[in-house]
A and B are shown apart, each in its own frame.
Chain A
Amino acid sequence: MKVYIPGPLCSYTREANSVNAAGASIGELLEDLDRRYPGIRFRIINEQDEIRRHIRIFVNGDQVAGLSAPLRRGDEVMIVCALSGG
């Protein structure tokens, strides 16, 4: 399925702002992303398997709360760096 990558993470995806990855949940999808683009998962997800404070993940436009959120074939996943700072 299609995954939209925010600008700060495009250095991992060779500057692609959308890539393909697979998984039946957000957790599995991020594992697959990390296999394809090593290092990307830890910058999104902390060591307690929580989405980092300034990251948001949307599936088909709806924000998900954690790694267990299910995915279906054809879903669109968007990873967003939340607006913060100044």
Chain B
Amino acid sequence: MPAPQPTRARRGKSKLCLLIATRKGMFLLRDAGDRRSWRLAGPHFLGHIVHHVVLDPRDRRTLLVAARTGHLGPTVFRSLDLGKTWKEAGRPPAFPKAETPEAKREVDHVFWLTPGHASEPDAWYAGTSPKGLFRSADGGMTWEGVAGFNENPLREKWAAGPQDGTPDGPKMHSILIDPRDARHMYIGMSSGGVFETRDQGRSWQPLNQGCRADFLPDPYPEYGHDPHCVRLHPLQPDRLYQQNHCGIYRIERAEGRWVRIGEAMPKKVGDIGFPLVLHPRDPDTLWVFPMDGTSVWPRVSPEGKPAAYVSRNAGRSWQRLDRGLPREQAWWTVKRQAMCADTQEPVGIYFGTTSGEVWGSVDEGKRFTCLARHLPEIYALESAET
């Protein structure tokens, strides 16, 4: 496989669009060209619960949407023309028909979408609730379960039951593909932990050593952790970061253990949160958005004062970024898929809130401005450059 190439800063002709997945549909926020004027389009799929919208970086035209409604079953929609027209998957992700009542599993929703490796142009992966891993080989129109995970005899131990999940159900997320090797992948499960395959999903190994799970009887188990968001840097694929239920972590694969880099965060803010975003060209730079994870987990900004934090040295130190954001009484937060970066210079940082606002910064977080408001609760935000 080719060595990963640096993500070049895109200027001039590239068009930036933010793909907004919400509890009530999908919206597109298009940049006029300077990242200062934005035009909101939509809603698409009004009334659908949209968990993720992703642009295929391999062709920069194909969009996949993970959707369901409150009443109807889950599905996937595809557009080949940047959202002008849509077609529904002929066979959405679904578990096999069970032979016994105890073995019955039903996909409640598709939670996560990941385009496949650059060498496999029609491949996509999907993570579901309850936890399942699915693959499409035809650009998202038909989906098959990844049997090495979904039918693995250890799956029930790894993924546990419906009680081992978020208030909105157990999640399979953070499907990461090593840019050097299509067979080498990672997944995150809330809860269950981080797992790795080197044979494209046929076999899996837990990758949680050093990571804490303080909600379990053994706080350092082999699996059962709660990674909220795991990221792999394309320029340094042997380094991963994760925002976990129990803090912010980094692992260097050669060292083999997660290290809690969130210890360097201010104590009164803590290092609990959901999203984690990497700089496209600097593996040492990452952004997080802390939330209140004390007591009963209010899942709001600490003290009602939202802020992003950036580290420029792989987590050794952090700086608060709150210029432009509300200074008080702002009781929203940012979900795990709802924060992203663009590839421009300087890097743009964007996030969508649980109260339906989109905020952005064109200077790597030094100053934020509100780009859209009054949207439904935002579940995911992805930056797309076409």
Q: Which residues of A contact B (CB under 8 A)?
A: 6, 8-9, 38-39, 42-50, 52, 54-55, 81-82, 84-85
CB-CB contacts below 8 Å: B75-123 with A: 75, 88-90, 92, 94-98, 104-107
- Tell me whether A47 and B106 are in contact in the complex, defined as CB-CB below 8 angstroms, given that A39-B88, A39-B90, A42-B94 are known contacts: yes
A48 in contact with B97 (CB, 8 Å): yes
Query: Any chain A CB within 8 A of the CB of B296?
Result: no
The residue from B47, B73, B97, B105 contacting A44, defined by CB atoms under 8 A apart? B73
B97: chain A residues within 8 A (beta carbon): 47-49
Bound CA–CA A85/B71 (angstroms):
9
Residue of A nearest to B47 (CB): A8
B-side interface mostly: loop
A43 in contact with B73 (CB, 8 Å): yes
Centre residue among A6, A47, A82 by max chain B CB count within 10 A: A47
B96 in contact with A43 (CB, 8 Å): no
- Tell me whether A48 and B98 are in contact in the complex, defined as CB-CB below 8 angstroms, given that A8-B47, A38-B90, A39-B90 are known contacts: yes
30 examples of A-B residue contacts, CB within 8 angstroms: A6-B71, A8-B47, A8-B72, A38-B88, A42-B75, A42-B94, A43-B72, A44-B72, A46-B94, A46-B107, A47-B94, A47-B95, A47-B96, A47-B105, A47-B107, A48-B95, A48-B105, A48-B106, A50-B104, A50-B106, A52-B71, A52-B73, A54-B70, A54-B71, A55-B71, A55-B72, A81-B71, A81-B72, A84-B71, A85-B70
Minimum distance in angstroms from A4 CB to a CB of chain B: 15
Query: Any chain A CB within 8 A of the CB of B236?
Result: no
Query: Any chain A CB within 8 A of the CB of B197?
Result: no
B90 in contact with A8 (CB, 8 Å): no
Query: Any chain A CB within 8 A of the CB of B69?
Result: yes
Minimum distance in angstroms from A39 CB to a CB of chain B: 5
The 7 A-B pairs with the shortest beta carbon distances in the complex, nearest first, are A47-B94, A43-B72, A81-B71, A54-B71, A43-B73, A46-B106, A48-B104
Minimum distance in angstroms from B212 CB to a CB of chain A: 36
A82 in contact with B71 (CB, 8 Å): yes
B71 in contact with A8 (CB, 8 Å): yes
A82: chain B residues within 8 A (beta carbon): 71
Bound CA–CA A8/B45 (angstroms):
11
- Tell me whether A52 and B72 are in contact in the complex, defined as CB-CB below 8 angstroms, given that A47-B95, A47-B96, A47-B107 are known contacts: yes
Contact with A along B305-324 (1 / 0, CB 8 A): 00000000000000000000
A81: chain B residues within 8 A (beta carbon): 71-72
B104: chain A residues within 8 A (beta carbon): 48, 50
Other A-B pairs beyond A47-B106, A48-B95, A48-B104, 17, CB < 8 Å: A6-B71, A8-B69, A8-B71, A38-B88, A39-B90, A42-B92, A45-B73, A46-B106, A46-B107, A47-B95, A48-B97, A48-B98, A50-B106, A52-B71, A52-B73, A84-B70, A85-B70
Residue of B nearest to A47 (CB): B94
The residue from B70, B73, B96, B98 contacting A42, defined by CB atoms under 8 A apart? B73
CB-CB contacts below 8 Å: B272-326 with A: none
The residue from B72, B92, B105, B107 contacting A9, defined by CB atoms under 8 A apart? B72
Bound CA–CA A9/B90 (angstroms):
16
Minimum distance in angstroms from B208 CB to a CB of chain A: 30
Residue of A nearest to B95 (CB): A47
